[in-house]
Structure 1
């Protein structure tokens, strides 16, 4: 490396090191005793979570010192790279985001927690573009479509006959075939400490020990957790200079989760029940933004025939970090919000003939707003192209053809089509 690359690398490593103890989901989750007490009272009392609850669970770092550390890194980036340096602008934004994350965690159990969450991840009332529907509108629209599908009665999910161990073995086998030489570094194992059915880390995927699966679920985990989350982490770790691409602030969460949902769709790994889960998360967050408390969100899930245990788990995702009557933690908006944003980006890249930018979504924990800059950094040799790519993105022929059709279809009026097709559908 030359002196410039060494400088960028050193600053990047400082960001990676500084963010290491920040574990957002660990800091906001509710413990098993809260769950047990809530279910013991048959879901008729609000969970006993307030500001004091979080004060009794201190962060794993000194918030003041950590904010100062990121501020000092940001100042050094400007001193050493200048104000308008492209990679410096990305790193400075990351420092600002991490400081905001720390402020959010400091505000656990207060109204500020939900407000900062909206700044970081968005709100359900946000529009995608001027005049477009909001995320809340999208959730209601999807619910209507899914209700029409459910009314058929013949699209049933396959029985969940795989326990956690069987799912681990099957997923490990599939990932070994995908990643080849990296198979020894990617581990799939059971875990008791996660809220979702599965979660990806830097070099592993955790499967919840008491969850059950079918083969369709495992395929979804393969493309969502494996081909996106693990792949982008490995590609970020493979960066010789911009090592910060292995770590993702909240802005990258939206892009990465959106990319993962898009992969589920184009790999035919998604299905109505999966989409219903994502839609429900959006609707539940919107309810909380509009003033619903934990019991009302809990009942929203119960009315859809979820068990009390599953209804609690889903509702607690909405209020974790907050209080049972406070503003929601809006991270779960990332799935549908990110899907729409990534899909639009790829569609526009095809329309403008900039296909080379699409695989760069996988070069690490990227954000859409950095994509043009990342293209420049690849040309400068500061960023290397992704080593691990799903088949749908390593050969862009089929994806480009699909997006060409999609671009045209977007110009057609679905309402007019519905009227014209009334006699044949």
Structure 2
């Protein structure tokens, strides 16, 4: 990585504007702003889990965002204009930063609209919707969810893949996961800390340089393998690479469009490294189905009961249902971030398939330069050539050598053209 003191005048200007963008987005803590507090959960169960949680626009108004929306939008607009003035209309790095300013502006508007119908509309614009098609005439994300649910149902009916018991306590899992990251991320593991926490809702949560595990949660070996790959290799790996950028420091942070790409990339790496498993896939699939239910008018109680019907405990079913309605109201539209995992997976998979077909597989590692967005990869390739963006210092094992990935993608590219419905009769005699 070049010494920052040796940057050219152009690089210094890009670095200065990039740092300003990183600082401007710092207060936009989306999940902190939309999550419901423990009092809502307690009140819901005190009412016998039979009435809608008491969350409305006034509930959100009592919670400080940490910034003033109008002045933050003005700051982002001013920065966007400043980037154009200093870098010109067609600067590649400038174009990415200006788009990020506009996207962060939409985030500000979304958070300022908590508890209103506008919140969900902007959520769909930023993260996507189950009704989104991947291509004209192709299945929607909701169709994808239904197909996955059907396949998982067949696995359940076979009775052959029972969920593994969770016997590792969160406090013990901390040391296990830390050791695994030290082995699989030897060059960067010292930049990652696994720590116990009593203050998180989910079993695990990742930050810029840490993974938190809830101390009273229970894990099994598959859970920890998944966290190693998803949170460690991908989310923390791309953060480390983004923070090491000497010029385009904006790659250390990502707006919602980067969330879609990064979550999709994490799910892709889960699968090609064989770290995923049916129980994990069911959780991701249920998120699509639940968001789709809410988008079609279901309220919190209906979504909560949907999760209960999946055999999920009441407390966890509440957590999953609240993810769907956080930022909104219990009978309003959904917060659609949870569709980004599957939407991003399909988009990343399609991108890599086309990269192989067009002889541009060298673009694949650029996904790890930082918090990248698929639509920016062609620009990032040029910025790497110009020395404005550094290639990723860390890559997950499956991306360190592209031979195996290329072979896997070639096979899958052909297999996806086969219609199982058409050959089902031919195979009936051997199944």
Q: Residue 412 and residue 181 in structure 1: after superposition, are their counterparts in 2 closer, same or farther (change >3 A)?
A: closer
Name the residue aligned to 2:3.
Answer: none
Q: Which residue of structure 2 lines up, in the alignment, with residue 204 of structure 1?
A: 210
Q: Which residue of 2 aligns with 1:266?
A: 272
- Cα displacement string for residues 277-311 of structure 1 (whole angstroms, at most 9, x for unaligned residues): 00000000000000000000001011112111011
2:343 counterpart of 1:337? yes
| Corresponding residue to 2:392 among 344, 366, 386 | 386
What secondary structure does 2:65 align onto? coil
Task: Report the equivalent of 1:131.
Answer: 137
The counterpart of 2:111, out of the listed 101, 105, 125, is: 105
1:95 to 88, 93, 101: 101
How far has the Cα of 1:153 moved from its partner? 1.2
Q: Which residue of 2 aligns with 1:17?
A: 23
2: distance between equivalents of 1:285 and 1:164?
A: 29
Offset of residue 193 of structure 1: 3.0
Whole-angstrom CA distance in 1 between matches of 2:99 and 2:387? 21
Is it true that 1:84 corresponds to 2:90 in the alignment?
yes
Q: Once the 2 structures are TM-superposed, how far is the Cα of residue 83 of structure 1 from its aligned partner?
A: 1.3
Check if 1:372 corresponds to 2:378.
yes
Tell me, yes or no, if the aligned pair for 1:359 and 1:393 is still in contact at 8 Å: yes
Give me the whole-angstrom Cα distance separating, in 2, the residues matched to 1:232 and 1:371.
14
- Tell me whether 319-328 or 159-168 shows the greater mean CA deviation: 159-168
1:179 corresponds to: 185
Residue ranges of structure 2 left out of the alignment (5+ in a row): 1-6
The root-mean-square deviation of aligned C-alpha atoms, in Å, is 1.0
* Selected match of 2:45 from 12, 34, 39: 39
- Residue 371 (structure 1) shift: 0.6
Does residue 251 of structure 1 match 2:257? yes
Task: Please tell me whether residue 403 in structure 1 is matched to residue 399 in structure 2.
Answer: no
1:60 aligns with 2:105: no
The SS at the match of 1:190 is strand
- Out of 289-298 and 403-412, give the one that drifted further: 403-412
The answer to whether the 8 Å contact 2:188/2:394 transfers is no
Contact 1:297–1:315 (CA<8 Å) still a contact in 2? yes
Correspondence for 1:216: 222
Aligned pair count reads: 425
Instruction: Name the structure 1 match of 2:423.
Output: 417
> Which ranges of 4 or more aligned residues in structure 1 deviate by more than 4 Å?
none
TM-score in terms of structure 2 length: 0.97
Shift of residue 176, structure 1, vs aligned partner: 1.7
TM-score, reference length from structure 1: 0.98
CA distance in structure 2 between the partners assigned to 1:371 and 1:220 by the alignment: 26
Kept in 2, the 8 Å contact 1:39–1:308? The answer is no
- Give 5+ residue unaligned stretches, structure 1: none
Correspondences of 1:111-150 after superposition (within 5 Å): 111-150=117-156
Alpha-carbon distance in 2 for matches of 1:413, 1:257: 28
Q: Which moved more, 1:363-372 or 1:170-179?
A: 170-179
For 1:416 and 1:287, locate their aligned partners in 2 and report how far apart those are by CA, in whole Å. Answer: 31
Is 1:151 the counterpart of 2:146? The answer is no
Q: 1:424: Cα distance to partner?
A: 1.9
> In the alignment, is the contact (CA less than 8 A) between 2:15 and 2:249 conserved in 1?
yes
Which of 275, 280, 293 in structure 1 is aligned with 2:281?
275
In the alignment, the residues of structure 2 paired with residue 181 and residue 131 of structure 1 have an alpha-carbon distance, to the nearest angstrom, of 45
- Counterpart of 1:299 (choices 295, 305, 318) is 305
Q: CA deviation at 1:106?
A: 0.3
